[in-house]
Amino acid sequence: MRSPHAAALILGAALLFPLSTLAASCCGGGSGGSLILPKMMYTATSVDIAYETYNGFWGDDGQWREDPPSSDLNQKRLSLGFAQRINDNWQASVSIPYIWNDNVYANNSFQTSGIGDTSITVLYEAFDDITCTWVLDTWEDYKPAMYFGASLTAPTGISPYDDVTNNFDITGRGFYRLDLKASFEKTVFPWNVSLAFNYGKYFERSINREYGVYVAPYQKNLGDRMSVSTSLGYTFFLEKGNTFTVTGAYADLQEKKATIEGLTDETSGMEKRSFSTTGAWANEDKSVVLKATYAYTPRYHDWGRNFPTTNTLSMGVSYVYE
């Protein structure tokens, strides 16, 4: 069985972290939306859980439509992350999700689970000192924290090209993808802003099975993926040096059409625009960050294409070692 929600079931875990806000990571704490080591810290671990619900979808024409009656589509994710500093300006991280699909669609029920696609990221910090400041007195005070890097997504999840019977068994996309990343953030306490760009390119692969049925081998590649996100946050200073930061973010994701044997697949490609709000608590030395994020997509025409409208609640904790 195939449904308009296939893209979200495949992409859910993969989209959670790339579209998270990055604000104030160089200072520690911040939005807590991504596992990025603060400056001068060397190791970090994180655990995140997410619950995503699907309600309606955009067709290829960009028009929003309701789900069939009695549909109930949900996905739960547990993501483990680890980051390590390589030297003063380089750091690397890995994120591995485990996914549970629990869906009722067109009077059929499906419950599956499995590991998702794994991502490995390397980042270069194009700044030598912490850029957070209280005032803007000199030109040096205006300098933002700048990160440049790359991320490799490995198809460790269950894809449509494995031994599955329908879309609701899927936990991964089945393709390797290399993303180039750039993000810029600036904190002038108590405010912080960020802007992040991402460009991803998939690696073509040979397909010989679709939904458990063997087919004549053919070459397929997914379309290039581009995303941009921006955020604005405000930090409240609590007792004993603890902080609580509230961040609002907007993200725009687009993926071009796939190709099969070099020919464009006109039924593919996707777009999605979304908003999110994050609350993050950090202790005095910013070694512990607790965060919660609510992300949602408006049910408006032309705000997406070939993608469902979703609401996601995620919570997590990260611990940083000096």
Q: What structural domains does the chain harbor?
A: 6-321 (2.40.128.130)
Report the pLDDT value the prediction gives residue 27, as an integer from 0 to 100: 67
Q: What is the pLDDT along the chain (322 residues), one digit of tens a residue?
A: 455 454 444 454 344 443 343 434 566 544 434 589 988 889 999 999 999 999 899 999 999 999 888 888 999 999 999 999 999 999 999 999 999 998 887 777 888 899 999 999 999 999 999 899 999 999 999 999 999 999 999 999 999 999 888 888 899 999 999 999 999 999 999 999 999 999 999 999 999 999 889 999 999 999 999 999 999 999 999 999 999 999 999 999 999 999 999 999 999 999 999 999 999 999 998 899 999 999 999 999 999 999 999 999 999 999 998 7
How far is it between the farthest Cα atoms of the chain?
67
Report the pLDDT value the prediction gives residue 14, as an integer from 0 to 100: 41
Determine whether 244 is exposed, middle or buried from the number of CB atoms within 10 Å of its CB (0-12, 13-18, 19+): middle
Report the pLDDT value the prediction gives residue 25, as an integer from 0 to 100: 57
Task: Decide: 171 and 99 in contact? Cβ < 8 Å.
Answer: yes
- Reference 296, options 278, 322, 321, 276; nearest CA is 276
Report the pLDDT value the prediction gives residue 28, as an integer from 0 to 100: 57
Report the pLDDT value the prediction gives residue 33, as an integer from 0 to 100: 44
Phi, psi values for residue 230, rounded to 5°: -140, 150
Q: Beta 243-255 vs 304-305: how paired, if at all?
A: unpaired
Task: Decide: 47 and 66 in contact? Cβ < 8 Å.
Answer: no
Report the pLDDT value the prediction gives residue 108, as an integer from 0 to 100: 78
Report the pLDDT value the prediction gives residue 202, as an integer from 0 to 100: 98
